[in-house]
Amino acid sequence: MRIDRYELYDVIASGGMATVHLGRLVGPVGFERTVAIKRLHPHLAKEPEFVTMLTDEARVAGRIGHPNIVPTLDVVASRGELFLVMEYVPGLTLAALMKNAAALGERVPMKIACAIMAGVLRGLDAAHEARDENSRPLEVVHRDVSPQNILVGADGVARLLDFGIAKAAGRLHTTRDGQLKGKLGYMAPEQLGARTVDRRTDIYAAAVVLWESLTGERLFDGDDAATIFGNVMQKKVPAPSTKVTEVPAAIDTVVLSGLEREPSRRFARARDMAAAIEDGAPLARVSDIAEWVAQMGEAELAARATMMAGIGRSGPAASVRAPANDSSTGILTAVKEPLAPPRSRRRALWIVAAAVVAIGVTGIVVLPRGGAKPADVAIPPTHAPTPVTVGTAAPAAALPTADPAAATERPSEPPDPLPAASSVTAKAPAAARTGPPTRAPGSKSRAGKALACDPPFTIDEQGHKHYKVDCL
């Protein structure tokens, strides 16, 4: 499927608001870039207020540049749908990694959990401090810090996803119950109470994620939204070390400070919480995190690599037309078609064809501008000049000729791509390499020296011209 400058490939993730596809930016002069394209569910694109809010927020988020943030590169509205184009980062979400670890009876190692959240908090601080071109604060608040929106790359770097989407989603008049239930456990009390949110709201959510990644449990859980809401507002939060004894007391303090229900009692800035984590526990190295991601996400990363290789084989000379849509899985199967040869290649073919015609038919030919051009040229597998037969209605004598000095002339610009109006077939009999050219019907042979000097030169197998001494 082609949307604007992008080709859409298979689904790599899905959620309550969107599916995420592998994609490719196809730019001019053969430039390509692999991207991740978030395809929002069609009903969201029908909400004008949502679309306006989302595009505004995406433009703001595009100004945030930080290693711990996946940037939004573009927003595309096409065919009644909305697409967010993001940088593609090989890796898995923290939610997927925690799920895979739990399936093996494991938790996220304490050093890795702390390193991941320290990086996420550094990215959050960069977003909170972002300013416009006039140095005015943009006052960015993520509003949806959760394990599903933290991508841990195969390079060992944690990155935060989806700036702007949560704020736009808050304007929707309808929200899916399942989606709301999944997000409630990460919302700060002021967010649930419809009070003013600021950067400390994101700090609270980050503290929830850190508690869960350390313990391997949900902090605020329940069978329904009302139960979760009550737990967020009233439940006494236990220190992580009561669940996992290896957690240092300093990290307990960091987590509980971030989870204060009163915003003024939390960390003032995300970087302050990151620094407290870094001081409170030894952190895993980036290479250690990368190795852990490779272990926990081995199957998913292998499948993704295979998918990427399939896209790579299509190369720049392939396009994707309307895909076959398997509604049961949501997977798009791309149908690839070769594109026409590049313009530069067609021009090169025309120049070679012109040279073959010029040398083979008359020895020396200056091609006229704007005249009929051959459309389909078969070049013989030899470097020697060869006679050429042009159609059946244009005898060789009809082609314009010039004196030997004109042999070095070339058109100043290559002609346009070949039209499909005529056909040129090149033939290469060995006996014709240095012999006299084919003469038009009715022409008379010359005798003696005149015949020997027609033409007054020979051409060797490398295509070099040698004038006969007797004809000078």
Token representation of residue 287: 């290479």
**Amino acid letter for position 422:** S
**What are the structural domains, with CATH classification, of the chain?**
2-298 (1.10.510.10), 343-471 (no CATH)
Q: State the DSSP code for 453.
A: T
Strands 6-14 and 91-93, by their bridges, are unpaired
User: Distance (Å, rounded) from C-alpha 446 to C-alpha 432?
Assistant: 18
| Structure confidence at residue 165 (pLDDT) | 65
Which has more pLDDT, 422 or 464? 464
Section 420-436 average pLDDT: 42
Strands 91-93 and 150-153, by their bridges, are antiparallel
User: Distance (Å, rounded) from C-alpha 143 to C-alpha 417?
Assistant: 54
**CA 334 → CA 1, 23, 77, 396, 453, distances in Å?**
7, 11, 21, 49, 63
Closest CA to 265 of 318, 404, 273: 273
| Structure confidence at residue 459 (pLDDT) | 76
Whether omega before 248 lies within 30 degrees of 0, making that bond cis, reads: no
| Structure confidence at residue 371 (pLDDT) | 43
3-state secondary structure of 175: coil
Portion of the chain with pLDDT greater than 70, in percent: 63
| Structure confidence at residue 438 (pLDDT) | 46
Contact 12, 307 (CB under 8 A): yes
Q: Which residue has the tokens 């290649």?
A: 345
Closest CA to 70 of 58, 86, 94: 86
Q: Dump pLDDT digits (tens) for 38-97.
A: 888 888 777 777 777 777 777 777 788 899 999 888 888 887 788 889 899 999 999 999
Average pLDDT, the chain: 73
> Is residue 144 among the annotated active site residues?
yes
Is 80 exceeded by the pLDDT of residue 138? yes
Task: Classify the C-alpha dihedral 118-119-120-126 as positive or negative.
Answer: positive
pTM (2 d.p.): 0.64
Token representation of residue 212: 């869960």
CB-count burial class (<10 Å; 0-12, 13-18, 19+) for 322? exposed
User: Distance (Å, rounded) from C-alpha 96 to C-alpha 103?
Assistant: 11
Could you tell me which residues come within 8 angstroms of residue 286 by beta carbon, excluding any fewer than 6 positions away? 115, 155, 156, 157
Residue 312 pLDDT grade (very low, low, confident, very high; cuts 50, 70, 90)? low
User: Distance (Å, rounded) from C-alpha 37 to C-alpha 20?
Assistant: 6
From the candidates 144, 162, 202, 252, give the one annotated as an active-site residue: 144
Portion of the chain with pLDDT greater than 90, in percent: 37
Is 70 exceeded by the pLDDT of residue 326? no
Closest CA to 457 of 435, 439, 440: 435
| Structure confidence at residue 340 (pLDDT) | 39
Contact 153, 91 (CB under 8 A): yes
Q: Dump pLDDT digits (tens) for 177-226.
A: 445 545 889 999 999 988 889 999 999 999 999 999 999 999 998 888 89
| Structure confidence at residue 174 (pLDDT) | 44
Closest CA to 320 of 305, 330, 335: 335
Is 80 exceeded by the pLDDT of residue 152? yes
